[in-house]
Amino acid sequence: MAFKERVFSGVQPTGNLHLGNYLGAIVKFVALQDTYDCIYCVVDLHAITVWQDPAELPRATREVTAAFLACGIDPKKQIIFNQSQVAEHAELAWVFNCVARLGWLNRMTQFKEKAGKDRENVSVGLYAYPNLMAADILVYRATHVPVGEDQKQHLELARDIAQKFNVDFASSIHAHGFGETFFPQPEPIIQGPATRVMSLRDGSKKMSKSEPSDY
């Protein structure tokens, strides 16, 4: 099955947007809309993998959306939306929880970095969120995903999940007229400079919205 080329990407509404978000993601989102059909998402379900103030999260979601618009993403041409308003993201993520293998998630290095030494007390959502990321991408059958260097491993997981789903359910996919594959193998788009912007406070770490200081 030939899939229409489509870009999907998202930004979490946690903390203030910083230079790394702008240079590493949003500037590139703007450029991609000239050559692709694009879907840009404010991923608030990803945000709640760690505790969020329920009163603060809607405001932060609006701010990220406003930043998308202010930086030049055209809502008349591309789709900008809030992840939690589309239930299919969570529904497909559960299916992918049952398709993905535990060993695959155990290899995700970013979980180890985010969980730190206190892994027993982090949420299951933080561990399994790469499956939700795969659902975000594949629910729209997106073919391309702009990613930084730190997200390449998660996109590889999404490709593994798509392939396993296609193989496991091949007979059903074919019977329903979808050809040989239901999900595409999404490709990374890693463009130009700023694929990994480092913290100005600690040059050994990636710049992050979870930094203790907004500076």
Point out the residues that are catalytic.
114, 206, 209
Structure tokens at 110: 């970013």
**In whole angstroms, what is the distance from residue 205 CA to residue 24 CA?**
15
SS3 call for 15: coil
Structure token pair of residue 33? 């809309």
Find all residues with CB under 8 Å of 84, minimum gap 6, and list them. Answer: 44, 45
Q: How many CB atoms lie within 10 A of CB 190?
A: 16
From start to end of 12-156, where are the E strands?
37-42, 79-82, 144-146
Backbone φ and ψ for 195, nearest 5 degrees, come out as: -75, -20
- Structural contact between residues 140 and 3, judged by C-beta atoms closer than 8 angstroms: no
